[in-house]
Chain A
Amino acid sequence: MNIFGFSVPAGYEFIINLVILLIKIGIVVGITMLHVLYATYFERKVIGHMQIRLGPMRTGFHGFLQPVADGLKLFFKEDIIPAQADRTVFKIAPVIFVFAALSSLAVVPFFDGFVIANVNIALLYVLAMSSLGAYGVIMAGWASNSKYSFLGGLRSSAQVISYEVALGLSLVGVMLMAGSLNLSEIVSAQQQHWYGMFLFPQCIGYFVFMVSAFAETNRTPFDLPEAESELVAGYFVEYSGMRFALYYAGEYIGMIVMSSIAVLCYWGGWTLPPFLLKALPFLAVVPGIVWFLLKVYFHIFLYYWVRATVPRYRYDQLMGLGWKVMIPLALANIVVTSVVRYIVP
């Protein structure tokens, strides 16, 4: 093995690989946390301008240092634990929530060849981690010993279980088209077609996926678990300081992960459609990570756009939408896709 001209003695390759892996993890986590910081700023600015306000303006140029100020404030706040709370569960819950969100990033390829763990079951892994995230919410709701938290936790568990079915079923269409669960292979499978994105043949699947992703990340119009106007703030009312910040960060990491999965499965990841490259050959100069990030930013913008325009659903409407519209749509999509794939292999 040879690294930067230095030859590594046999037997030490394991250690070198481990160090490279740790550096990769550090880079991904660091960049994601920076994105989370500025995703909050981006959200406040976007929603502000949509409501004809300015958003944060005071801290730094156009409020550019606002997220740093918020982070510092949360960091120095007192950490309060309610008197009758189950202390251990209360402390572990936010850690599980952030852990589940962050560990999904391990299988996301950001550009060609850059992925922490190139596993063959990447899509299933992401689904598994998103179901683990539900525990962070339910445990917080139960351990806080407060009725608002508890209601938020119960709502969230029912919502996440229901919409996870639709989420998984909508991805089956992509699995059938690509013939793989590996995210890098899904991206390269999209390049085999002239349209270069599964968005066009899988538009129903994409629609179901995005609606379920909104519900999975507890964002408006499905933010019933936290519903600030009826449940105060839902499952994390009793949290303060750093633990509250963990929930806040976990929500944004979840959004970034879901957007990345949407981009990789439906928008061709870091690649451009072949017909576009044929028409405009100079676009091939731009590195893949730029396209990937642009597509992810578009999806994050979509989250904010929906939040600024769509009112919250009622709970029975939310459940009805999940079970009576989204799951049948996803099932129909699977049937159609597999029939088409059988005729046109």
Chain B
Amino acid sequence: MNRKTTRIVLKVIRYAAVTLILSVFLFPAYWIIITAFKPMSEWNTWPPHFWPYHPTLVNFAVKGILPFLRNSLVVSSSVAFISAAISLMAAYAISRYKIGGTALAGWFISMRMLPPITIAIPLYVIYVKVHLLNTWLGLILVYLIPAVAFGIWVMISFLNEVPRELDEAAYVDGATRIQTFRYVIFPLSISGVAAVIVLSFVQTWSAFLLATVLTSDSAAQTLPVYLGRFVTGYNIEWGPLAAAGLITMLPPIAIGLIFQRYLIRGLTFGAVKG
């Protein structure tokens, strides 16, 4: 009997702990969501309203946000797909031909760790000269760095799982290396490619520092920059700002949830099938 009660008690404790942790971790997001639906009278109250008493959709009339949303979509999607392509190619070369050995792979992977501020300033100066300031291309190029770096790391692990015998078999059948790549390797590493696309998209979407430094107005600025425009601001309108925050939150959450299997596989370098 004692053993059974202990197990039940333990289980209750576990549920309680999980609920507590989740409540704390999701609270900031929850606060943004409810504030987005609050009218002005409820933004700053005491006691605070944990639920909008008079929910409204007025805050979502942020038409000014559309160019920023467009820019985020363009930049994040482009980085996602281009980084997948470049990563796959580079990872193939490393996995199959061991080009550059540990040194080269190490260098690629270390690019992921590059603190953005360290390249932001010289890039600003360079971008001005080559007229890449405040352009999509400028942002895409710079965000490809962490995306490709991480993507290569992920793809190498995935490609290592594709048996080399398949390469040999294809070769024996008369295929060129490029054909082998296109018809054998690529299809088998699709889930790795998908993982890189999802990860790159989510990471680029949230990126803030480089976008702030390298863009000037709504022609190229992304959503995080839009949100950051009112830092230590005047008279912050919490409702519209929270609505904008909500709009910014949704795409990566949606993509992350829909493609969570790829996300998990990607972040664990293929170790887990999810």
Mutual binders A and B: no
Residues of B within 8 A of A (CB): none
